[in-house]
Chains A and B, each alone.
Chain A
Amino acid sequence: MKAVAALAALLAALPAALPAALAMLGLAAVPPARAETDSAKTEPAACAAPAYLLATEARLLKVAEAIKAGGRLDILVIGSRSAVVAAAPDGTGFPGRMTAALRERLPSIAIAMSLQLQVKKTAADVVANLGRLLEGKSLEGRSLEGRSLEGRSLEGRSPTLVVWQTGTVDAIRSADPDDFRAALGQGIAAFRKAGADVVLVNLQYGPRMETMISTAPYLDVMRVVAQEREVPLFDRFGIMHYWSDTGHFNLFGPVHGAAMARRVHDCLGRALARVVLDAAGVNPPQPDLRAR
């Protein structure tokens, strides 16, 4: 009987004590850690992402051509809500930051970017709307939700480059990975048919999201499709994971102002610009390699 009582006490104490101890440890450890990382994070050097996360073997031939021809580069970004910083001015999301970085590197080229926000739309939903998205008319500066867009409109020209950020909504809704894969393939084929190069951007990494959203199947599908279709994949998930692991950004913290979100997007935009330039064969930026 004694043994049974002892066992019952043990069993009762174990699950109760463990989370409590963990919570205590957590509460004790978080504030200093957060303060440290936040203050160290302001300089652009924090943007460094290792080369292996940015490497791609796929080529952006249309973009390379456009840059070589020296005229203009029209970019269409199709993204979900994680393409913009909530409650922050336009242009602070990674598409706007990418455009700014590209303009910096290619000053002689007229770069126009149009962001089509597809809020709460799965890849399949986006593909169903592709006609409207790619038609000149739908690029006049309003998204389907009527939200104003970042960047200038393409004034009816068809894009040279489509940056397609997707996967998050599919993961949230646990869409069938097969459907997701089929939609990606159809979308890429349609963009190419319309004469554009394509870059895929995958999901965000969020440490607290990992118990809630099963990201792995969607990340895998995007990797496989990118490899199969020879499309560069911008590994937003991998890069943010790296920043989080190395302490570049403290993505764990429960409360952050828009400031850190904007810095993250700025860094993502720069990294994305680098991937685009690499895949177009424009790196390193020799002045004579710039469009002429």
Chain B
Amino acid sequence: MSGSKMVVQALIDQGVDTVFGYPGGAVLPIYDEIFQQNSIKHFLVRHEQGAVHAAEAYARSTGKPGVVLVTSGPGATNAVTGLTDALMDSIPVVVLTGQVPTFMIGSDAFQEADTVGITRPCTKHNWLVKDTDALAHTLHSAFHVASSGRPGPVLVDIPKDVQFANGTYEGPAKMKSHYQPKLKGDLEAITALVAAMEVAQKPIFYTGGGVINSGPIASQLLRELVAATNFPITSTLMGLGSYPGNGDNWLGMLGMHGLYEANMAMHDCDLMINIGARFDDRITGRLDAFSPGSTKAHIDIDASSINKVIHVDIPILGDVAHVLEDILKVWKARGRKTNSKALKTWWGEIDDWRKIRCLDYATDSKVIKPQYALERLEALTKDHDRYITTEVGQHQMWAAQYMTFNDPNRWMTSGGLGTMGYGVPASIGAQVAHPGSLVINVAGEASWLMNMQEMGTAMQYGLPVKQFILNNERLGMVRQWQELLHGERYSQSWSESLPDFVKLAEAFGAKGILCSDPADLDEAIMEMLAYDGPVIFDCLVEKHENCFPMIPSGKAHNEMLLGDAAIKGAIDASGSVLV
């Protein structure tokens, strides 16, 4: 079998039916095979970065690895941002790149790049295949590595002569790998955690993307555990939806733009149970003031995440679903105990924090407040079978704050890397995976422009993605930081010469909607939802709105800013060097 045929066969054997890609000289044999079969549907993107983000969203919304096929040189280098994004957010993506023929490697050939060298630090693992006989095994290994343990992106670089040459194909069953991450947690550590849960006066669950990566069972077990113990629960940006946003014990997102009650509870708790999160700097704030009085437990499948930033007292290495199952088992066997009297007091404290109503904002009858736009979008779409993607910036935080996620795999956003330009291709990936569902990309106008070429992809495949752009004609989050840190000198943070988004939509063949009056907003959103095709919704919002609550850089969880009145001098010299 030829190498290129093997690629298609391996994809089929791995259960792949969708590939995002862009052809070029070094992958032509594989594209020729794709042309001659019907099992795999190929989606032609407009830029390789878009292919990887689309594959990421496909993966995040289905739980299956996303697959990308691009050419050598610029095809591979354009994929680098997507690979890094997937690495930071632990998303399983398999990227296949063409390479110049083996005998030309190292000669600075046309469209040659040291792809495995360039992508080594931004993949979980990568391979250069120099022998067609090794190709099938490598491809199966790639899927195994991408989706086992802590998921991540992998890359297989396939020289053109290896694609043409004949070799022996082997199926996935023959794949051997020493890479077999441990799934079951240590029972002694689990028992220690359960013992701590039984007596805790102020416990809190702090959950992350690891719950979602562990699969729907993990979310189900988490819900069961929360309901059984009546502990409060908060989540990172990545973990939204693992516990329902309308659930009784939900405190809202935590972190830099998290909810007041979530951050205060993190700061004051006496038992913190981290489930599949990684103490990211957006979460912890000032490290030496991070939840000073608590016993900390950490469930993670990646040993390097444990004790990386925050010292934990009860480390549990394992897969979230497996560990949660054991926690429930042990907890039930020991008599389902909690310190319910103390819990009642704890909930009383939390209810007092809730009374601050940290998401309240000054309403306006003339100008659309971005928070209002998202409240209305939420109200009008919450009963739909809905997937939300975002770009990066203020709108992203507002979406996390004002929209409700009741199920896992419904929320696709660039967390760790913070990639502007993620949302448009991500909405396409999610729509490809869920053709009948409502997919909305909540965007800012500046981020949206970064990968807007993918509207062409949406049109080509009839993907009715809704681009909901909160247009403040600013790089809103940059502007907010300049206001807080740099004496209101708004260096380069205006979006000047913006396109007419309605005409732009029409130029792509999509529908454009402009809305600038709060009174028209509901009707305009309904029009967007009613249209059977891609829509670009240009929502003109208040230009100088800041995103609150906010933990200023260098500050602790109990030092949050709740509104504009508090921002003067909020960040001191040591905080200003932080990102």
A binds B: no
